[in-house]
């Protein structure tokens, strides 16, 4: 039986704004949504600076959408007109140069913030139970951001846009049997051409942003359902006060709203400085070759993706025929290690060993070449991040209560990742290739050995409640 509609009655002297809000709330749960998702949402009171990057990511997302809308008003997704339309935006459209630089700088700022946001999750175990789904939604957001950045990379139709897209799309050609057809399907032509530009534009402007917004909503809903983590890794919901709220939590508004506004102000100051004084950031944000129109007859001497892809690109480039023998030896040693140290069932161990044997056969140069395995390692370097909730077996979520040498492990991993990122921007000399191969081994070892090293050492006692000193 349908419920009768009841309209909220307010005194005649009530402010017009309050009456309007009541009218909307009777027909749409606006106030309820605000309270559930932020206004009355209780967050741990011991948040530190690391917890500001989530709100900054939302700010940059809005910034990218708004600037992107203005850019599409003048951009032409046509191979003959695209580069000229970008130049027109830069030179003729009032404040067009500012909008374009805000968008290009915003792309790099987005990845800087997301990488820092993920670092916080790594340090404080934000992916651990019961937040596994939050982490998976976040990982899916990261994949969407990579796709969005890649599709947008081609749109200026400069030299690096054209040849960078050519190289990345051709990677799919290394996949056995379906590779050539898959590359052709992605490009829409036998080479990167007008068809490629049109479909990349459609994905960049419509398809990926819609998926991204849905994943962001799911990420936030999942977060507010189980509650935020904190630097101590303590579940604040386990200690409830008389008012029904956690005693170690405070309302997000106004306490964290003010901190987020302050963080946003500092970010916008830095962001504006880059936009106005160094939008190319020495070629890391915008490459010199991308200010030259695409020329299919002239290949740049050094093709590399934008910096936020270079750690994974380095893994791809480090996978040479000689390095494959090291990978084969490492895989064999890892399987032996699992048999000796793992508590998995015999059936599971046998399955892992069988898959490893097939992989070892496939790694032989007579079967599949190193280019294919480079693509596999390239993808695995990204996908392995999704497994963190099940790889980390540490008794303590937060780095604060883990053995001191665990911090050294995280530091080595961070140095390896940054080194891979830097090497991806440089020419592949023999010395750089060797360093990239060593960093690749360190990168994968961090994750694959985590079920063991994360449980080793003497752990500090995790407190029952959060540690917090007001200041």
All domains in the chain, ordered by first residue? 36-233+250-285 (1.20.810.10), 301-460 (1.20.810.10)
Task: List 293's β-bridge partners, or say none.
Answer: 158
| Number of residues that make up the chain | 471
CA distance 26 to 19: 11
Give the three-state DSSP class for 2: coil
Say how far apart CA 326 and CA 338 lie, in whole Å: 18
Q: ω into residue 343 within 30 of 0, thus cis? A: no
Q: What whole-number distance in Å separates Cα of residue 413 and Cα of residue 314?
A: 15
Tokens of 335: 């399987």
What pLDDT is attached to residue 144?
96
Q: pLDDT tens digits for 312-339? A: 999 999 999 999 999 999 999 999 999 8
Q: Is 469 helix (H, G, I), strand (E, B) or coil?
A: coil
Contact assessment for residue 303 and residue 164, using Cβ atoms and an 8 Å cutoff = yes
- 11-31 burial: b if 16+ Cβ within 10 Å, else e: eeeeeeeeeeeeeeeeeeeee
Q: Are 205 and 72 in contact (CB under 8 A)?
A: yes
Which regions of the chain are under pLDDT 70? Answer: 1-3, 470-471
Q: Within its chain, how far is the Cα of 369 from the centroid?
A: 30
Q: Would you tell me the crossing angle of helices 53-72 and 208-226 to the nearest 10 degrees?
A: 160
406-434 per-residue burial string, b: 16 or more CB within 10 A, e: under 16: beebeeebeebbebbbbbbbeebeeebbe
């Amino acid at each position: 039986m349908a419920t009768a509609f009841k309209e909220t009655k307010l005194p005649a002297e009530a402010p017009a704004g309050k009456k309007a809000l009541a009218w909307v709330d009777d027909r749409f749960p606006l106030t309820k949504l605000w309270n559930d998702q932020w206004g009355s949402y209780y967050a741990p009171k011991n948040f530190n600076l690391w917890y500001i990057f989530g709100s900054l990511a939302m700010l940059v997302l809005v910034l990218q959408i708004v600037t992107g809308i203005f850019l599409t008003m003048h951009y032409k997704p046509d191979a003959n007109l695209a580069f000229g339309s970008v130049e027109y935006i830069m030179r003729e459209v009032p404040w067009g140069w500012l909008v374009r630089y805000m968008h290009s700088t915003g792309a790099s700022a987005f990845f800087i913030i997301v990488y820092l946001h993920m670092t916080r999750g790594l340090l404080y175990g934000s992916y651990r139970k019961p937040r596994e789904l939050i982490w998976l939604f976040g990982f899916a957001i990261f994949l969407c951001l990579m796709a969005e950045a890649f599709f947008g990379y081609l749109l200026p139709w400069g030299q690096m846009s054209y040849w960078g897209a050519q190289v990345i799309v051709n990677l799919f050609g290394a996949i056995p049997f379906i590779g050539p057809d898959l590359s052709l399907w992605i490009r829409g032509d036998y080479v990167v051409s007008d068809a490629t530009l049109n479909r990349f534009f459609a994905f960049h402007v419509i398809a990926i942003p819609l998926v991204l917004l849905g994943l962001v909503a799911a990420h936030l809903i999942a977060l507010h359902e189980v509650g935020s983590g904190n630097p101590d890794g303590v579940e604040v919901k386990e200690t409830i006060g008389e008012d029904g709220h956690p005693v170690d939590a405070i309302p997000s508004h106004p306490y964290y709203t003010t901190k987020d506004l302050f963080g946003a102000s500092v970010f916008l100051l830095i962001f504006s400085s880059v936009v106005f004084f160094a939008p190319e950031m020495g070629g890391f944000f915008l490459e010199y070759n991308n200010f030259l129109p695409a020329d299919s007859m002239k290949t740049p001497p050094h093709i590399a993706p934008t910096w936020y892809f270079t750690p994974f690109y380095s893994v791809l480039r480090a996978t040479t025929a000689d390095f494959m023998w090291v990978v084969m030896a490492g895989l064999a040693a890892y399987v032996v290690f699992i048999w000796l140290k793992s508590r998995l069932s015999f059936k599971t161990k046998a399955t892992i060993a069988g898959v490893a044997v097939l992989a070892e056969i496939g790694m032989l140069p007579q079967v599949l070449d190193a280019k294919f395995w480079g693509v596999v390692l390239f993808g695995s370097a990204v996908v392995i991040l999704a497994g963190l909730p099940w790889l980390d077996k540490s008794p303590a979520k937060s780095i604060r209560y883990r053995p001191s040498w665990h911090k050294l492990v995280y530091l080595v991993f961070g140095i390896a990742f940054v080194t891979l990122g830097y090497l991806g921007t440089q020419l592949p000399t023999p010395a750089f290739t060797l360093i990239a191969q060593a960093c690749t081994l360190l990168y994968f070892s961090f994750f694959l050995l985590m079920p063991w090293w994360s449980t080793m050492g003497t752990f500090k006692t995790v407190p029952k409640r959060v540690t917090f000193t007001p200041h």
